[in-house]
Amino acid sequence: MSYRLGFVMELALGHATTYSRFSRWASNQPDINPVWMTVPPWEDDRWSKMPFVRNNYSLFCSFRARDRLSKALAEGPFDALFYNTQTVALFGLPLMRRCPTIISADATPINMDSVAAGYDHRPASGTPLDHLKFVWQRRVFRRATALVAHSEWVKESMILHYGVHPERVSVIPLGIEVRDWATPTRAAPNFTSRRARLLFVGGEFERKGGRILLEAFSNGLSRRCALDIVTRDQSVESAESVRVHRGINAGSLEIKQLFANADLFVFPTLGDCSPQVVIEAMASGLPVISTDVGAIREEVEDGVTGILVPPGDANALARAVNVLLDDPGLLVTYGAAGRRAAERLFDADRNYSKVFDVIKRSIDEFPGEGARHGRYVKH
């Protein structure tokens, strides 16, 4: 028995990596017949030229998603629809009454408002338009058959802010292929004979806290550390003890080698939800220093797998780095704990299987008109 499933996937930022990982996993499942409908953040189409729509990200992404979905439905009905994220689901409301629909999210709009400064995002300010957006998003969340929250942070918002029943929300971090991230044999390093190697990975250098890290580095860390920076930002240049790497793809051998060679992963992001790069560092056996924003506290356990510092505080960041470098044994302890946490909580194979279980359960229990007439049920 196989399921014809429609996957409507947003491709902005880290969602492109989620799509890549999810599609690889699904391609190896004999009981899934997937139809992928990807929605890029920009496209030269009619929606990019239409006034008002072209300036509203959720609107033009949802219009594009609707176009792709209409074309796919012409080839036949789906057993279920899966949206990642709600940003591309705004025009899915009519179908939700006839087809089991699962929405996956790393943040609700209200979650995004809480990290707005890091994203240069305008939070809702109580205008009538803001209220209309809220009501629309609430209907989307409530009408979906099931919801997959990537963190407890998201689930809490779905329940408290949007009135979703707790039993309809499954917390499943989408994760990474942990088995592909080998853990080097790490002994306590001797920093009397060499500098500590710090690693930072962030395509959006400013938002990911790269400037804060450079400030901390220039104010003392450079005396005992070398820093590798992976970014696409062209304004960042290599300097003494700082090496900038560009053109390195996520999951590539080059990035894995940088993780393997590092002593500590430093990620002082100003705005994030559930960054996968943090999990990659943990899977590589690295302790992590990051900031307490979004759902990062559900990835990095402060004092167990790493240290969390306030966003934008270069002095706190430098102190945290020095704490770990002053106790090399702690680097090993935190790194090993991070690897165990990655295996237990963030393994993609296990977690995507859980997502598929949610999809199957949604199909089996769907009470809508489509299910009664056999149109959107199992083949």
| Statement: residue 26 has pLDDT above 80 | yes
**How do residues 170-195 score in pLDDT, each as one tens digit?**
999 988 999 999 887 888 999 999 99
Domain ranges of the chain: 3-175+347-372, 179-345
pLDDT of residue 276: 94
pLDDT of residue 126: 86
Half-sphere exposure of 209 (CA within 13 A, CB side): 26
Give the DSSP letter string of 248-306: PPTT-HHHHHHHHH-SEEEE--SS-SS-HHHHHHHHTT--EEEES-TTGGGTS-BTTTE
Residue (of 106, 87, 94, 74) closest to 6 by Cα position = 74
**Binning pLDDT at 50, 70 and 90, where does residue 129 land?**
confident
Q: What burial class does residue 97 get, using C-beta atoms within 10 Å of its C-beta: 0-12 exposed, 13-18 middle, 19+ buried?
A: exposed
Q: Is the peptide bond before 291 cis (omega within 30 degrees of 0)?
A: no
pLDDT of residue 54: 84
| Statement: residue 369 has pLDDT above 80 | no
What is the rounded average pLDDT of the residues 211-216? 97
Three-point CA angle 99, 161, 149, nearest 5°? 55
Three-point CA angle 281, 287, 292, nearest 5°? 85
Residues 37, 9: contact at Cβ < 8 Å? Answer: yes
No. of H helices and E strands in the chain? 14, 12
Window from 49-53, 202-206, 238-242 with minimum mean pLDDT: 49-53
**How do residues 338-363 score in pLDDT, each as one tens digit?**
999 999 999 999 999 999 999 999 99
| CA gap 4, 130 in Å, rounded | 36
Q: What burial class does residue 81 get, using C-beta atoms within 10 Å of its C-beta: 0-12 exposed, 13-18 middle, 19+ buried?
A: buried
pLDDT of residue 118: 80
Residues 57, 329: contact at Cβ < 8 Å? Answer: no
Window from 126-135, 286-295, 310-319 with minimum mean pLDDT: 126-135
pLDDT of residue 122: 82
What is the share, in percent, of the chain residues with pLDDT greater than 70? 97
Domain 3-175+347-372 shares a fold with domain 179-345: yes
**How do residues 53-110 score in pLDDT, each as one tens digit?**
888 889 999 999 999 999 999 999 999 999 999 999 999 999 999 999 999 999 999 9
b/e code 281-314 from CB counts within 10 Å (16+ = b): bbbbbbbbbbbebbbbbbbbbeeebbbbbebbbb
| Statement: residue 215 has pLDDT above 80 | yes
Higher pLDDT among residues 105 and 50, named by residue:
105
| Statement: residue 371 has pLDDT above 60 | no
Residue (of 319, 233, 225, 304) closest to 268 by Cα position = 319
| CA gap 181, 343 in Å, rounded | 10
| 3-class secondary-structure state, position 9 | strand
pLDDT of residue 68: 96
**How do residues 250-305 score in pLDDT, each as one tens digit?**
889 999 999 999 999 999 999 999 999 999 999 999 999 999 999 999 999 999 99
End-to-end CA distance of the chain: 7
Q: Architecture of domain 3-175+347-372 in CATH?
A: 3-Layer(aba) Sandwich (3.40)
pLDDT of residue 333: 97
| Statement: residue 372 has pLDDT above 50 | no
Q: Which fold has domain 179-345?
A: Rossmann fold (3.40.50)
| Statement: residue 373 has pLDDT above 50 | no
